[in-house]
Amino acid sequence: MTDRNQHRLVVRIFTRVVGALAALALPLASHAADRQKEVVSLCFEAQDVLPWRTEKGGGLNFELLKMVEQRLDIRFNYLSIPWKRCLAQLKSNAVDGAFAVSFKPDRRELGEYPGGEKIDIGKRMHVDRYVVLRKKGSPVEWDGKSFHHLDGPIGFQLGYSVGDVLRAQNLEVDEGSQRAVELARKLIAGRVAAAAVGGSDAGGLMRGPLKSELEQLPIPIIEKPYFLILSHAMVASRPELAERIWRAIEQSRNSAAYKKLERDGNASH
């Protein structure tokens, strides 16, 4: 082999080696860049609440937060746990935020809502409502202000804000159920006289295997916005990022892309 051919062979080998190393470095660089992104840890309730979210990270809440990640070039880390524990983690600053949380005055102890003292409804994640379910054939009625023919407690899920609305009417309540389906079975068994259930959960129950034994009353108990609330420590240490996140939620929720997802999601559920 001539010196010239040897030189060409060495150049080809060198070029291939460099190319291979570069190819290996690309995913490493990508992971490094991802690690350098600002990370925000969020907890959410470990159950499906369609169309808003699923335990496995699907649904409109996650689509909305994915848009926020892209807008701000940050990364959310998610923790799926029971709701009471999620709120406790928020209060202790073990996580940076929790979603989707309706407003209750005492929840200001847990974390910060967008807008501070005057809640900014425009920065909500979504709006949902609570409705009344009764056992099929039950005489229980709700006229939008008060219950009639109520013989026994009203059930609701553990830690849910609708409990305050019911207690304000001096009603007997039962807060012993973690999941909507557990509450529905308790209602069918006659252990509660009625059930106050989130609109999305109620929709799932009225399409599910228990639907023939349940009735949904037409007037909602209450309709309210749901927010991403951030921990006191997060807002104190990274106030600018907190404001950017809430602003990006509003912008993303109002975007044409999200509105299409919302239409499609609500239509399919």
Q: Does residue 268 register a pLDDT over 80?
A: no
CATH number for the domain that contains residue 202: 3.40.190.10
SS3 content of the chain, % helix, strand, coil (to 5): 45, 25, 30
Q: Does residue 164 register a pLDDT over 60?
A: yes
Instruction: Indicate the average pLDDT of the chain.
Output: 89
pLDDT class for 200, splitting at 50, 70, 90? confident
Q: Where are the alpha helices (DSSP H) in the chain?
A: 3-36, 60-72, 83-91, 162-167, 180-188, 199-207, 232-237, 239-253, 256-268
First to last CA, the chain: 73
Pair 264, 241 in one domain: yes
Count the domains in the chain. Answer: 2
Domain coverage including residue 157: 129-223
Q: Is residue 96 part of a domain?
A: yes
Q: Is residue 31 part of a domain?
A: no
| pLDDT score at 3 | 56
Helix (H) or strand (E) holding 127: strand 126-135
Euclidean distance between CA atoms 138 and 142, whole angstroms: 12
Mean pLDDT of 20-44: 66
Q: What tokens were used for 97?
A: 């935020």
Pair 208, 143 in one domain: yes
Q: Does residue 267 register a pLDDT over 80?
A: no
Q: Does residue 27 register a pLDDT over 60?
A: no
Q: Which residue has the higher pLDDT, 50 or 258?
A: 258
pLDDT class for 18, splitting at 50, 70, 90? very low
With contact defined as beta carbons under 8 Å apart, do 98 and 44 qualify?
yes
| pLDDT score at 8 | 57
pLDDT class for 163, splitting at 50, 70, 90? very high
| pLDDT score at 269 | 52
Residue-wise pLDDT tens digits, 37-90: 899 999 999 988 888 999 999 999 999 999 999 999 999 999 999 999 999 999
| pLDDT score at 11 | 46
Q: Is residue 242 part of a domain?
A: yes
Mean pLDDT of 193-221: 94
Distinct helix (H) and strand (E) counts, the chain: 9, 11
Pair 122, 134 in one domain: no
Pair 215, 245 in one domain: no
Mean pLDDT of 16-30: 49
Q: What tokens were used for 103?
A: 């407003």
Selection from 39, 57, 37, 38 nearest residue 47 by Cα? 57
Strand pairing partners for 157?
177
